[in-house]
Amino acid sequence: MSGGAGARRASERRRASIAPAMGIALERRDVRGGALGAVRRAVASDLGARIASYLLLLLLWQLVALYEDRFPDPAEVFGFLWIEVSAGSHGGVVRGQFLEHFAATLPRFGLGIAISMALGIATGVVIGASRMAEALFKDTLLVLLALPAIIWAFLTQMWLGLGDDAVVITTFLSAFPFAAVNVVQGVQAIPRDLRRMSTAYGVSAYRRFRHLQLPAVTGYMFAGLRFAVIIGWNAVLLGEWFSASEGVGWRSRYWYDANRYKGFVGWVVIFILFIVLLDRLVLVRLQRRAFRWRDAQLSEVEREAEEVDLGVTGA
């Protein structure tokens, strides 16, 4: 979108730091030698900052637990998690179950995402390529994007009763519009000038597909996949909360209904960890790789802002 001149101007602007003029002290590297200096450097390093942030989070958690008796503190929750994951005994006849519930959830989740990606890509290509289809169906897509997953969880339960179907369809219906909208953006982002030039120079259909259409759409497709997965994970949990008798969402509800909040919070830790690791270790990397032709000149801050924002931009 931005031409070479714009990018040059932006980099020129950024070259100088705003810090000195603003009177913000530049970060001082501690140059003192010895053990004390080493400790200070470690505390001030990026890793030190990250560790400090996790410690602060644990502290906040502990404070909330002190303020509200019902809410378990970190030690209780991690104790619970150990028993649950290692299939130990929770006391009485209830045993820890971890793999069983993931084994029930993952096929539902995978199937829902697969259907939403297949239909999302097909719909996205049609809407992106035809102005008539865009005029007719873009608003429908907008309404679908706006529907909260809870509506689908309720509707599928009323339509299909309890069971796998309701969960899979909740996942599919919630994730589908996010996949479709991103593919629409990708198809529409194919640069018009390049399209015209390929026509003028008689570039073959294969080369056009390989070097123009495919690279333009791939990045958006991975972005679509990423948000379909994030939205779909919430949907599968909600679907299981209301319509299943096993699975990650059901198990967290099981502990919630039993008034064993440490169990509930423990499962929240598990399902957050699952999606965060999947996103940061797999999906973000795929998306970055597919977009690298486009985002090479962006600064790190801009790139991260883009990654965070992209999910909610919708149309």
Partner 1 sequence: MAAGDGSVRGAGSTIVGHGPRGTAHLSLAARRRVRGLVGFVLGVGGFLLVWTLLTELVVGEFLLPPPLEIGGEMWAVVRTGEFFRQFVPTIERLAYGFGLALLIGFPVGYLTGTSRYWRAFFHDMVMVAGSIPGITYAVMALVVLGISELGPVLSVGLVSMPYVAINVAEGLDSVDRRLVQMSDAFGRSRSAVVRHVLVPSVAPFAFAGVRLSFALAWKVEQLTEVFGSSKGVGFQIRKEFEDFSIPGMLAWVLLFIVFMILLERFVLVRLERYLFRWRLEEQG
Q: Considering the complex, state which of residue 201 and residue 309 has its C-beta at the smaller distance from partner 1.
A: 309
Separation of alpha carbons 108 and 118, rounded Å: 16
Nearer to partner 1 by Cβ, of 203 and 303: the residue is 303
Residue 290 C-beta: closest distance to partner 1, Å: 18
Residue type at 53 in one-letter notation: S
96 neighbors 83 (Cβ within 8 angstroms): yes
Residue 93 Cβ, how far from partner 1 at the closest point, in Å? 25
C-alpha–C-alpha distance, residues 265 and 255, integer Å: 9
Select 97 or 188, whichever has its Cβ closest to partner 1. Answer: 188
Q: Which helix (H) or strand (E) holds 14?
A: helix 4-15
Whichever of 200 and 281 has its CB closer to partner 1, that residue is 281
Identity of the residue, 275 or 286, whose beta carbon is nearer to partner 1 in the bound complex: 275
CB of 164 to partner 1, least distance (A): 18
Residue where the block lists tokens 């270790």: 281
C-alpha span between 203 and 186 (Å, rounded):
21
Residues 124, 221: Cα–Cα separation, whole Å: 10
Q: How far is the CB of 73 from partner 1 (least distance, A)?
A: 13
Work out how close the CB of 264 gets to partner 1 at its nearest, in angstroms, rounded to a whole number.
7
Instruction: Report the amino acid identity of residue 138.
Output: K
